[in-house]
Amino acid sequence: MSDLYDRDRRANAGLQKLRFFPQAVVGGKGSRLRTDDGRWLLDLSASWGAVSLGHGHPALVSAVTAAVADPAGASVLSSATSPATVLAERLLALWPGAADRRVWLGHSGSDAMEAAVRAARRATGRQGIIAFSGAYHGCTTGTIAVSGHQSLGGDRAAGLIQIPFPDASRDEDGAAILADLSRRLDATPDSVAACLIEPIQADGGMVVPPAGFLSALAALCRRHGILVIADEVKVGLCRTGATHAHTAEGFTPDILVLGKGLGGGLPLSAVIGPAAVMDGATAFAMQTLHGNPVCAAAGLAVLEVMAHDRLDRQAAERGDQLKAALSRLKTRHPIITSVRGRGLALGVELALGPDRRPAAAETARLVWRAHELGLVVYYVGTGSNVLELTPPLTLSGAEAEEAAAILGQAFNDLAAGRIPDDAAAGFAGW
Ligand SMILES: Cc1ncc(COP(=O)(O)O)c(C=O)c1O
């Protein structure tokens, strides 16, 4: 274990750690991270999808440097500022449509999802929320209360309706889920404020829903006056190969929530929704540094690079390439039971037997070995058995091949029994 990792263990709180192997980094460039012992790791996580442009992108460096040097204050609470206003205008332009919308800026997916849920409850005068089991919407008290991920303890909200997220890779069509929900809503009319939808359920296992399911769910919600909130914190903004992930699922949410990749690695999130909801009150959902010029400038730089370099197309092409390479691995390794996702939001499921029992222990050892071989990849899933690939959207073709080759080596080592049984002991993951 490196000196830095050991010092971190003694200084930084375990409460905020989700560790899979003894990673200790001191710098980064593009798709790579530099470790404290001088190795370069190929980063297939991009800090859980946040580092959308890769590490140290020049556009981000110069935008942030300029914003720190000549700051328009530090907050949007009591002053209009240029970076926050331009960013909001750009975000509105990125989501065309007739609706009169407003933008709320925050620091994280958690604060944005919490603000969206509170605003929806306020606007509708209803308390109920529909959310999916397996869904991770954040780690604040308010978002834990509407999440369904096994890693989150804490109380669930009164009036929470949790429904299963159907999995296209298991040929589930979700019809029974919709029928049950419809009966329930008919029985308790006017009680539900919002329905929280991830277009791909990321932390639940990069689960892709069957075609038409989410659009049917959105239509059902509309009939009951329920606001549809798309949580695109992880898979939004070009990652799936389109500007917004919901377009592939054929529905338009009332409220769109963005985070992670929007800041390119800086703390930034956004809620975009109808003016009637977003202007419904003042001083209602605010934190001192919301809309601060440094993070807003970072967001603007990210959006500019995304548009200029067509990172939507790049994510689609690179994703196809990576998915094809992973599908070839699947033919050689029966433990890989599903390769799924869209663009550069990909999942590789590891399971055993005809009933696809989650291979959690094998997954933990595999990511540990991949790290030893020079690759950063973590796992997600309600069974802790799905590799999550959310690399920088700037990943090159050569890097995609290199990543697949390292993963191939790790799977060979797993199959040949070359990874010690206790390799990942002490790294709990989730
Ligand atoms: C879909 C989704 N929503 C919300 C969040 C919370 O975002 P943050 O960790 O930035 O608070 C996450 C984090 O993983 C997420 O994946």
**Is residue 421 in some structural domain?**
no
Q: What is the pLDDT of residue 15?
A: 95
CA Rg value for the chain: 21
Q: What is the CATH number of the domain that holds 340?
A: 3.90.1150.10
**Is residue 234 in some structural domain?**
yes
Any ligand 1 atom below 6 A from CB of 88:
no
| Whether residues 296 and 322 fall in one domain | no
To the query of whether residue 136 is one of the catalytic residues in this protein, the response is: yes
Q: Which of 45, 137, 256 to mutate to test the pocket of ligand 1 (most atoms within 8 A of CB)?
A: 137
Any ligand 1 atom below 6 A from CB of 427:
no
Distances in whole angstroms, Cα of residue 32 to Cα of each of 27, 74, 121, 275, 284 = 9, 31, 42, 41, 40
Any ligand 1 atom below 6 A from CB of 109:
yes
Domain region containing 391: 3-38+313-415
| Whether residues 25 and 86 fall in one domain | no
From the centroid of its chain, how far is CA 114? 15
| Whether residues 296 and 319 fall in one domain | no
Q: What is the CATH number of the domain that holds 242?
A: 3.40.640.10
* Ligand 1 mean position, distance from CA 110 (Å): 6
Q: Which of 308, 335, 350 is the last residue of a domain?
A: 308
**Is residue 45 in some structural domain?**
no
Any ligand 1 atom below 6 A from CB of 149:
no
Q: Which two tokens mark 240?
A: 């799936």
Q: What is the pLDDT of residue 155?
A: 86
Any ligand 1 atom below 6 A from CB of 53:
no
- Nearest-angstrom CA–CA distance, 105 and 103: 7
- Residues near 363 by Cβ (< 8 Å), separated by ≥ 6? 350, 379, 384, 385, 386, 387
Protein residue with least CA distance to atom 16, ligand 1: 234
**Is residue 47 in some structural domain?**
no
Q: Which of 200, 232, 234 to mutate to test the pocket of ligand 1 (most atoms within 8 A of CB)?
A: 234
Q: What is the pLDDT along the chain (430 residues), one digit of tens a residue?
A: 789 999 999 999 999 999 999 999 999 999 999 999 999 999 999 999 999 999 999 999 999 999 999 999 999 999 999 999 999 999 999 998 878 999 999 999 999 999 999 999 999 999 999 999 999 999 999 999 999 998 888 889 999 999 999 999 999 999 999 999 999 999 999 999 999 999 999 999 999 999 999 999 999 999 999 999 999 999 999 999 999 999 999 999 999 999 999 999 999 999 999 999 999 999 999 999 999 999 999 999 999 999 999 999 999 999 999 999 999 999 999 999 999 999 999 999 999 999 999 999 999 999 999 999 999 999 999 999 999 999 999 999 999 999 999 999 999 999 999 999 999 998 988 8
- The whole-model pTM stands at 0.98
| Whether residues 121 and 227 fall in one domain | yes
Quote the DSSP letter at residue 226.
P
| Whether residues 202 and 350 fall in one domain | no
| Whether residues 111 and 145 fall in one domain | yes
The minimum-distance atom of ligand 1 relative to the CA of 108 is 10
Q: Which of 15, 48, 140, 260 to mutate to test the pocket of ligand 1 (most atoms within 8 A of CB)?
A: 260
| Whether residues 151 and 254 fall in one domain | yes
Quote the DSSP letter at residue 280.
S
**Is residue 51 in some structural domain?**
no
Q: Which of 278, 308, 338 is the last residue of a domain?
A: 308
* Domains in the chain, number: 2
The minimum-distance atom of ligand 1 relative to the CA of 198 is 1
**Is residue 283 in some structural domain?**
yes
Distances in whole angstroms, Cα of residue 423 to Cα of each of 36, 39, 123, 128, 146 = 21, 20, 51, 44, 35
The minimum-distance atom of ligand 1 relative to the CA of 135 is 1
**Is residue 425 in some structural domain?**
no
Q: Which of 279, 308, 337 is the last residue of a domain?
A: 308
Any ligand 1 atom below 6 A from CB of 132:
no
| Whether residues 147 and 12 fall in one domain | no
Any ligand 1 atom below 6 A from CB of 114:
no
CB 379 within 8 A of CB 385: yes
| Whether residues 96 and 235 fall in one domain | yes
| Whether residues 209 and 328 fall in one domain | no
| Whether residues 340 and 241 fall in one domain | no
CB 245 within 8 A of CB 219: no
DSSP SS3 for 335 = coil
Q: What is the DSSP string of 251-275?
A: ---SEEEE-GGGGBTBS-EEEEEEH
**Is residue 46 in some structural domain?**
no
SS3 of the chain: helix, strand, coil, percent, to 5: 40, 20, 40
| Whether residues 302 and 318 fall in one domain | no
Pairing status of strand 227-231 against strand 192-197: parallel
Measured distance between the N- and C-terminal CA atoms of the chain, rounded to whole angstroms: 21
